[in-house]
Structure 1
């Protein structure tokens, strides 16, 4: 029997009792799984343990060389969050975290790709697992700030996806950026630009001090462990929208693809 561990990143009811879900495996790939009886219920009113964001070990019987959906023979809960679901905003964040990671995780449809020693995409699993664990701990400690958690996640996602913006030198002139320089993040240029290299219209629309602070905070997040970072400034929704647009632009995905995003921004 083949056994795989992964985070349940979505689930869809199938018929009256069953579920089809996607698992994000430890190697960063995802598989579609049929969970017969996964909705729970029945005469004994059994509750379902198949909740988004839980880590499961799933056993499969015979696996064909090529497949679209694998059928679960059994599944065991390995880790679960207990507090996120009690906070609506935290749950919305969880849904967005799962949506974004699902959109970039490669779909497995061949038996050979189940090899967990292949780790080229494991950063996606690391990103999601760290985000969920931190989110759970912040809600439990009553130290939860939705803007801060979303900010950290978006910056860490840029790092894992290999699209972190250019911060050392101006994306237009190539001149070194100092810690006290006023700058602005350019989505199209993929990095920060000195305020003096912006057009007069751009200078009118952007705030160089905010760009300076955003650059500083992003660098600190990128260099810190996910679970330990404390955001040092107020994060505005305009800055979060800018980071979301940056990721969408460089990953060639439409912002509207993320249904849960409208609940956050």
Structure 2
């Protein structure tokens, strides 16, 4: 994005993460702007990243190529209504507001290039993953800009259909909480088996990290990795059989389906 000027509407955690990622990749601070109504937030991000900040959204987007909507979904309608008279036809709008559809954005902003993104919270550590969907007005250059923007905080994956963002929300958007829940449960079980909480937590966390690295670095499917560490009649098999007897796979499927359905419901409510 070395030749693209970018404005962030909102200066919360996600905006700060994206700005930090862009700066770490070498984008000059002069190419980045951010707006926020809270003076302390503007001062903080200005001090941290050396970028220009504005109290007024219209001032922030002037002369920029990309406008990132990084505000809460509950206020995005009013933010878009105020921005609409000031946006130019060629400016790309990137929305990281969960549940706000392209149809809703078009209703508030008019027909224009829009990329919807669903990042997740590990983006604050630049270990995130984001699903991206572009509407029909987005050019190849703008797709590249959007991909580079989200890649600054992790993996960016393009989707062919907008409705797939509900599945992305269920799998990766909400996904960190599922792993936190498993970590909680394994740590608690370790304590009940006689370990101290600190030891149980360390063992659980580092096992999670190691398993993720193995899966990422392997050229075989995770099902095969699981099979390789599950010796017949061994301790791992005993645990796996217990998981499966409790309906583990079906429970995971029901949980992710519930998250996807709720994502679609929220999109209807927030986009009204």
Instruction: Give the TM-score normalised by structure 1.
Output: 0.30
More strand by share: 1
Instruction: Give the TM-score normalised by structure 2.
Output: 0.30
More helix by share: 2
